[in-house]
Chains A and B, each alone.
Chain A
Amino acid sequence: MEYTTIRNERTQLLNYLWEFQDKNGYISTSDIRKLSKELGISWIEIEGVISFYHFFKRKPTGKYTIYLNNSMVSEIKGFHKIKEAFEKETGAFFGGTDPTGTFSLFETSCVGLSDQEPAALINFMPVVNLTPKKVKEIISHLKSGGKIDDIQDEIEDLIRYKNDKGEPVLFREYKLGDSILNLVKKRPDEVIEEVKDSGLSGRGGAFFPTGMKWEFARRSPSMQKYVICNADEGEPGTFKDRVLLNQMPGLVLEGMITGGYAIGATKGIIYLRAEYRFLKKKIESTIKHFYKIGLLGQNILGKNFDFDISLMSGAGAYVCGEETSLIESLEGKRGGPRTKVYFPIEKGYLEHPTIVNNVETFCVAARIMEFRSEIFSSKGTSKTKGTKLLSISGDCKKPGIYEIEWGITIQEMLNLCEAKDTNYIQFSGPSGTVLTKKDFNRTISGEDLICGGSVMIFNSKRDVFDILTNFSNFFIAESCGLCTPCRAGNYLIGKRLEKIRKGEATYEEIEEIKSWGKVLRDTSRCGLGKTSSNFIVEAIDKFPEVFKKVGLKDKEFNLSAALNDYYDTVKNN
Chain B
Amino acid sequence: MDLRIVNIKIDGKKFEAIEGQSLIEAAKNNGFYIPTLCHFKEIYPPLGTCRVCTVNINGKPDTACTRKVFDGMEVEVNTPEVLDNRKAIVEMLFAEGNHFCPACAKSGDCELQRKGYEMGISSSRFPHLFEERPRDFKDDRIFLEHNRCILCKRCVHEVKTNKGENVFYFQNRGHKMLVGMDYEKAKELTFEQVLDAAKLCPVGAIIAKGKCSVKPFGDRKFDVDKNIKWIQSEELELDIPKDGKKKVVATTSLAGCFGCHMSLLDIDLGLLDVLELIEFNKSPLTDIKKFTKQCDIGIIEGGVANSENFEVLKEFRKNCKIIVALGECSIWGGIPAMRNTLPLKDCLEEAYLNSISSENNENIIPYHEDIPNLLDKVYAVSDIIKIDYYIPGCPPNADHIWKAVKNILFGVGEKVAYEEFKYD
Chain A residues in the interface with B (C-beta under 8 A): 40-45, 47-48, 51-52, 317, 334, 338-341, 476-485, 487-492, 495-496, 512, 516, 518-519, 522-525, 554-555, 557, 559, 562-570, 573
In the bound complex, do residue B92 and residue A480 qualify as a contact, i.e. CB atoms below 8 Å apart?
Answer: no
In the bound complex, do residue B171 and residue A47 qualify as a contact, i.e. CB atoms below 8 Å apart?
Answer: yes
In the bound complex, do residue B127 and residue A519 qualify as a contact, i.e. CB atoms below 8 Å apart?
Answer: no
Query: How far, in whole Å, are A352 and B374 apart by their CA atoms in the complex?
Result: 61
With CB as the reference atom, state the residue of chain B lying closest to A556.
Answer: B384
In the bound complex, do residue A51 and residue B172 qualify as a contact, i.e. CB atoms below 8 Å apart?
Answer: yes
Question: Beyond A523-B51, A562-B375, is A339–B172 a contact (Cβ under 8 Å)?
Answer: no
> What are 17 A-B pairs with beta-carbon distances under 8 A?
A42-B169, A42-B185, A43-B185, A44-B166, A47-B171, A47-B180, A52-B170, A334-B170, A340-B66, A341-B46, A476-B174, A481-B176, A484-B51, A488-B93, A525-B63, A569-B365, A570-B365
In the bound complex, do residue A566 and residue B93 qualify as a contact, i.e. CB atoms below 8 Å apart?
Answer: no
With CB as the reference atom, state the residue of chain B lying closest to A481.
Answer: B177
Question: Beyond A522-B85, A562-B377, is A341–B54 a contact (Cβ under 8 Å)?
Answer: no
Q: Shortest Cβ distance from A319 into chain B, in angstroms?
A: 8
Q: Shortest Cβ distance from A324 into chain B, in angstroms?
A: 10
In the bound complex, do residue B376 and residue A52 qualify as a contact, i.e. CB atoms below 8 Å apart?
Answer: no
In the bound complex, do residue B173 and residue A52 qualify as a contact, i.e. CB atoms below 8 Å apart?
Answer: yes
Contacting A at CB under 8 A, from B42-94, are 44-52, 54, 61, 63, 66-68, 85, 88-89, 92-93
In the bound complex, do residue B365 and residue A573 qualify as a contact, i.e. CB atoms below 8 Å apart?
Answer: yes
Residues of A within 8 A of B365 (CB): 569-570, 573
Which of A317, A338, A569 is close to B344, meaning CB atoms less than 8 Å apart?
A: A569
Query: How far, in whole Å, are A343 and B153 apart by their CA atoms in the complex?
Result: 22
Query: How far, in whole Å, are A565 and B339 apart by their CA atoms in the complex?
Result: 13
Query: How far, in whole Å, are A44 and B167 apart by their CA atoms in the complex?
Result: 7
Query: How far, in whole Å, are A496 and B383 apart by their CA atoms in the complex?
Result: 13
Query: How far, in whole Å, are A484 and B49 apart by their CA atoms in the complex?
Result: 7
Residues of A within 8 A of B367 (CB): 570, 573
In the bound complex, do residue B126 and residue A516 qualify as a contact, i.e. CB atoms below 8 Å apart?
Answer: yes
- A555-B384, A562-B379 are known contacts; what are 11 more A-B pairs with Cβ within 8 Å? A44-B167, A52-B172, A491-B129, A516-B125, A518-B85, A519-B89, A525-B51, A562-B375, A562-B377, A569-B348, A570-B365
In the bound complex, do residue B92 and residue A484 qualify as a contact, i.e. CB atoms below 8 Å apart?
Answer: yes
In the bound complex, do residue A48 and residue B169 qualify as a contact, i.e. CB atoms below 8 Å apart?
Answer: yes
In the bound complex, do residue A341 and residue B51 qualify as a contact, i.e. CB atoms below 8 Å apart?
Answer: no
Indicate if B182 sits at the interface (CB-CB under 8 A).
Answer: yes
In the bound complex, do residue A44 and residue B175 qualify as a contact, i.e. CB atoms below 8 Å apart?
Answer: no
Residues of B within 8 A of A334 (CB): 170, 173
Query: How far, in whole Å, are A48 and B333 apart by their CA atoms in the complex?
Result: 33
In the bound complex, do residue A566 and residue B129 qualify as a contact, i.e. CB atoms below 8 Å apart?
Answer: no
Which of B48, B177, B344 is close to A525, meaning CB atoms less than 8 Å apart?
A: B48
Query: How far, in whole Å, are A44 and B165 apart by their CA atoms in the complex?
Result: 10
Indicate if B345 sits at the interface (CB-CB under 8 A).
Answer: yes
In the bound complex, do residue A488 and residue B180 qualify as a contact, i.e. CB atoms below 8 Å apart?
Answer: no
Residues of B within 8 A of A482 (CB): 49, 151, 153, 170, 177
Indicate if B294 sits at the interface (CB-CB under 8 A).
Answer: no
In the bound complex, do residue B174 and residue A48 qualify as a contact, i.e. CB atoms below 8 Å apart?
Answer: no
Query: How far, in whole Å, are A524 and B63 apart by their CA atoms in the complex?
Result: 9
In the bound complex, do residue B343 and residue A341 qualify as a contact, i.e. CB atoms below 8 Å apart?
Answer: no
In the bound complex, do residue A481 and residue B174 qualify as a contact, i.e. CB atoms below 8 Å apart?
Answer: yes
Indicate if B358 sits at the interface (CB-CB under 8 A).
Answer: no
In the bound complex, do residue A47 and residue B169 qualify as a contact, i.e. CB atoms below 8 Å apart?
Answer: yes
* 9 nearest A-B residue pairs (beta carbon): A481-B177, A44-B182, A339-B48, A48-B169, A522-B61, A488-B96, A570-B367, A565-B376, A491-B175
In the bound complex, do residue B173 and residue A339 qualify as a contact, i.e. CB atoms below 8 Å apart?
Answer: no
Question: Beyond A47-B171, A495-B129, A573-B367, is A522–B54 a contact (Cβ under 8 Å)?
Answer: yes
With CB as the reference atom, state the residue of chain A lying closest to B367.
Answer: A570
Indicate if B225 sits at the interface (CB-CB under 8 A).
Answer: no
Q: Which of A40, A48, A338, A570 has the most CB of B within 10 A?
A: A48
Residues of A within 8 A of B168 (CB): 44
With CB as the reference atom, state the residue of chain B lying closest to A46.
Answer: B169
Indicate if B300 sits at the interface (CB-CB under 8 A).
Answer: no
Residues of A within 8 A of B221 (CB): none
In the bound complex, do residue B126 and residue A569 qualify as a contact, i.e. CB atoms below 8 Å apart?
Answer: no
Residues of B within 8 A of A492 (CB): 92, 95-96, 126-127, 129
Query: How far, in whole Å, are A516 and B89 apart by their CA atoms in the complex?
Result: 10
In the bound complex, do residue A519 and residue B374 qualify as a contact, i.e. CB atoms below 8 Å apart?
Answer: no
In the bound complex, do residue B173 and residue A51 qualify as a contact, i.e. CB atoms below 8 Å apart?
Answer: yes
In the bound complex, do residue A487 and residue B54 qualify as a contact, i.e. CB atoms below 8 Å apart?
Answer: no
Question: Beyond A44-B181, A476-B175, is A566–B49 a contact (Cβ under 8 Å)?
Answer: no
In the bound complex, do residue B174 and residue A479 qualify as a contact, i.e. CB atoms below 8 Å apart?
Answer: yes
In the bound complex, do residue B175 and residue A479 qualify as a contact, i.e. CB atoms below 8 Å apart?
Answer: yes
Question: Beyond A491-B129, A569-B345, is A41–B88 a contact (Cβ under 8 Å)?
Answer: no
Indicate if B386 sits at the interface (CB-CB under 8 A).
Answer: yes
In the bound complex, do residue B177 and residue A487 qualify as a contact, i.e. CB atoms below 8 Å apart?
Answer: yes
Indicate if B190 sits at the interface (CB-CB under 8 A).
Answer: no
With CB as the reference atom, state the residue of chain A lying closest to B172.
Answer: A51
With CB as the reference atom, state the residue of chain B lying closest to A518.
Answer: B85
Question: Beyond A491-B129, A523-B85, is A317–B175 a contact (Cβ under 8 Å)?
Answer: no
Query: How far, in whole Å, are A48 and B170 apart by their CA atoms in the complex?
Result: 5
Q: Shortest Cβ distance from A114 into chain B, in angstroms?
A: 23
In the bound complex, do residue B376 and residue A480 qualify as a contact, i.e. CB atoms below 8 Å apart?
Answer: no
Indicate if B364 sits at the interface (CB-CB under 8 A).
Answer: yes
In the bound complex, do residue A487 and residue B174 qualify as a contact, i.e. CB atoms below 8 Å apart?
Answer: yes
In the bound complex, do residue A555 and residue B385 qualify as a contact, i.e. CB atoms below 8 Å apart?
Answer: yes
Q: Which of A341, A483, A488, A492 has the most CB of B within 10 A?
A: A488
Contacting A at CB under 8 A, from B171-201, are 171-177, 180-182, 184-185
Query: How far, in whole Å, are A564 and B180 apart by their CA atoms in the complex?
Result: 36
Q: Shortest Cβ distance from B54 into chain A, in angstroms?
A: 5
Question: Beyond A522-B61, A525-B48, is A43–B310 a contact (Cβ under 8 Å)?
Answer: no
With CB as the reference atom, state the residue of chain A lying closest to B169.
Answer: A48
Residues of B within 8 A of A555 (CB): 383-386
In the bound complex, do residue B307 and residue A42 qualify as a contact, i.e. CB atoms below 8 Å apart?
Answer: no
Query: How far, in whole Å, are A42 and B170 apart by their CA atoms in the complex?
Result: 12
Q: Shortest Cβ distance from B303 into chain A, in angstroms?
A: 12
Query: How far, in whole Å, are A334 and B156 apart by their CA atoms in the complex?
Result: 13
Indicate if B373 sits at the interface (CB-CB under 8 A).
Answer: yes
Question: Beyond A492-B126, A523-B54, is A559–B310 a contact (Cβ under 8 Å)?
Answer: yes
In the bound complex, do residue B166 and residue A42 qualify as a contact, i.e. CB atoms below 8 Å apart?
Answer: yes
Q: Shortest Cβ distance from B145 into chain A, in angstroms?
A: 17
Which of B126, B150, B307, B345 is close to A565, meaning CB atoms less than 8 Å apart?
A: B345
Q: Shortest Cβ distance from A385 into chain B, in angstroms?
A: 27
With CB as the reference atom, state the residue of chain B lying closest to A521.
Answer: B61
Q: Shortest Cβ distance from A73 into chain B, in angstroms?
A: 22
Query: How far, in whole Å, are A484 and B52 apart by their CA atoms in the complex?
Result: 9
In the bound complex, do residue A562 and residue B174 qualify as a contact, i.e. CB atoms below 8 Å apart?
Answer: no
Query: How far, in whole Å, are A126 and B322 apart by their CA atoms in the complex?
Result: 62
In the bound complex, do residue A573 and residue B364 qualify as a contact, i.e. CB atoms below 8 Å apart?
Answer: yes
Residues of B within 8 A of A484 (CB): 49-52, 89, 92-93, 96, 150-151
Q: Shortest Cβ distance from B383 into chain A, in angstroms?
A: 6
In the bound complex, do residue B45 and residue A341 qualify as a contact, i.e. CB atoms below 8 Å apart?
Answer: yes
Q: Shortest Cβ distance from A205 into chain B, in angstroms?
A: 19
In the bound complex, do residue B185 and residue A44 qualify as a contact, i.e. CB atoms below 8 Å apart?
Answer: yes
Question: Beyond A339-B45, A481-B170, A570-B365, is A489–B184 a contact (Cβ under 8 Å)?
Answer: no
In the bound complex, do residue A566 and residue B51 qualify as a contact, i.e. CB atoms below 8 Å apart?
Answer: no
Query: How far, in whole Å, are A557 and B317 apart by their CA atoms in the complex?
Result: 14
In the bound complex, do residue B375 and residue A563 qualify as a contact, i.e. CB atoms below 8 Å apart?
Answer: yes
Question: Beyond A341-B46, A484-B49, A522-B85, is A42–B167 a contact (Cβ under 8 Å)?
Answer: yes
Query: How far, in whole Å, are A523 and B83 apart by their CA atoms in the complex?
Result: 12
Chain B 296-339: CB-based contact to A (< 8 A → 1; otherwise 0): 00000000000100100000000000000000000000000000
Query: How far, in whole Å, are A48 and B66 apart by their CA atoms in the complex?
Result: 24
Residues of A within 8 A of B165 (CB): 40-42, 45
